[in-house]
Structure 1
Amino acid sequence: MINLFKMNVRDRYLGSSLGSFWAITNPLFMLSLYTYVFGFVFKIRLPGAEATLVYVIWLISGYGPWIALNESITGAANSVVGASGLVKNMAFKTELLPIAGTLVGLINLAVSLCFLFVLLVWSGNPVTWHLLFLPLVMALQFAFAAALGLWLSAITVFVRDVIQILPTLLTAIMFMTPIFYPFEKMPAIIQKITLANPLYHISEGYRVIIIASRMPDMVGLGYVAVISFVIFYFGLRAFRRAKGAFDSAI
């Protein structure tokens, strides 16, 4: 699994002069850009907050995990096609490919959390014991991404357009999820629909732990766990049925 993870990271930045260093600089640049734009140019404030940096911390606590999830899903979707040489020439559990592809998002998440903690210390926000719940939310995030990745990686082998459509689709989902705006700003009927969105519960889990210093909503996280298990279970069965045709389709 570790070797597959390293291969995914290496292949992701193959041909670039800085190599895997881009895995750190890309999210770091985007987070710095958002901090500058929303913290020092537009100076957006959350309702009831006096400092503009409060919004930036709130934004990054949701957007940081999102870019990690985006990278995980994209990496998993392209994992089988990207490792076509291995799939054709080696006998191994190809189910590991989308899971290893999912783990690529760990780099983005680590960079985002480190950047966020720097902002927290800079702004004087307390760092509490509730951070111990972060590994739970992180595990559920990657379980959900791996579950989707099993489906997407198998479909991509036969429908290559998935790789082209996926970035646009993920961007649309991001703006339909309260990442850049509070949940309370959504119309009432959309709020009810959003409660069925696992991505909302994941991002809210980070925000409650990091910003509000509270335990996350265990009911919401339990919902994510159940959804992830169901998608993973049926995705694994579908993947194993389809992988016999991978050699001829790749």
Structure 2
Amino acid sequence: MTLPMLSRRRRSDRSNFNFGTVVNWTRQDFVDRYSGSVLGLAWVLIWPLVQVTIFTLIFSQIMGARLPGNSDTYAYSVYLVAGVVPWTAFANTISRVTTVFLDKKHILSKVRLSMPLLASYIVLSEAVTFAVTMAVFLMYLIAFGHPLGAGILFVPLIFVLQQVLAFSIGLICACLIVFIRDVKEIVGIVLQLWFWFTPIVYVADIVPEGIRGWLELNPSMLFIESYHQIFVHGGMPVLDDMVTLAVTGGVLLAASLLMLRALERDIRDFL
């Protein structure tokens, strides 16, 4: 096979992996996740329904948890769900993108795919799960008569910005894990600590003054607080936080793509 033919074949391999392929991989991701189960893809709806039901009913009615400064019976449950749902998508995206090259090495070794595009199906998969869970959450809020403000229109934008950040962090870790397999365990530990360093199950006001300043350096605060503003207080996201989140995500995305471009040949060799 001549060099021009090889070049055309490589371009063809890359062009075959387009957005349609990402959609198909996303669909297959859900099929594989629930393969062998009787209810199949129905679990995509069942799991969010169970999760939101536990948070809204168990914490508010049985445990009697209350949000400080708010007399609404369901205020703490709303606060909790508004933080847990986006955090779950954020953390899952980081952890799954981190291992995507190792998980798909049998494909990468046979077909010359665009590696960033390969990892992007995880973002779409988590977006579908987030959308279904949020739809269930909104149904509960409407059923409970919880007020919803115009800020809810910004939820898709906030989600996109947080996922750009998550994808970028995951892609950097995906490059490193090929050479240092301990990265997977490190990411797991960091995400656990990161969760508890973010006001999701508690409010920031209860944090000691000496530590509260460090919370401002937590990038997840930029989107978690916006979700709380929208769903708990019926307000709008903080514009400065959204700008900071967009800039941070954009810089990290550029850095991750440059890193992958520089290491791609070595990554493929190691895989």
TM normalised by structure 1 equals 0.90
Match of 1:242 in 2: 263
What displacement does 1:144 show?
0.8
> How many residues matched?
249
**In the aligned structure 2, how far is the partner of 1:195 from the partner of 1:215?**
19
Q: Which amino acid aligns with 2:243?
A: G
Deviations along 1:79-119, whole A, 9 cap, x unmatched? Answer: 11111122111122111122222222113311331222122
What displacement does 1:42 show?
1.6
Q: Does 1:86 align with 2:107?
A: yes
What displacement does 1:129 show?
2.4
Q: Which amino acid aligns with 1:95?
A: P
- Farther off after superposition, 161-170 or 41-50: 161-170
Unaligned runs of 5+ in 2: 1-21
Contact persistence 1:70–1:170 (CA under 8 A): yes
**In the aligned structure 1, how far is the partner of 2:241 from the partner of 2:28?**
34
Q: Does 1:127 align with 2:183?
A: no
Contact persistence 1:87–1:247 (CA under 8 A): yes
Q: Does 1:96 align with 2:117?
A: yes
**In the aligned structure 1, how far is the partner of 2:109 from the partner of 2:162?**
31
Contact persistence 1:103–1:142 (CA under 8 A): no
Q: Which amino acid aligns with 2:102?
A: V
SS at structure 2 position matched to 1:103? helix
Contact persistence 1:71–1:102 (CA under 8 A): no
Change in Cα spacing, 1:125 to 1:26, as seen in structure 2 (3 Å) is: closer
77, 85, 88: which is aligned to 1:67? 88
Q: Does 1:118 align with 2:148?
A: no
182, 190, 194: which is aligned to 1:161? 182
- Farther off after superposition, 33-42 or 63-72: 33-42
Contact persistence 1:177–1:194 (CA under 8 A): yes
TM normalised by structure 2 equals 0.83
Match of 1:195 in 2: 216
Change in Cα spacing, 1:143 to 1:171, as seen in structure 2 (3 Å) is: same
Q: Which amino acid aligns with 1:79?
A: V
Contact persistence 2:200–2:224 (CA under 8 A): yes
Q: Does 1:174 align with 2:174?
A: no
Q: Which amino acid aligns with 1:212?
A: H
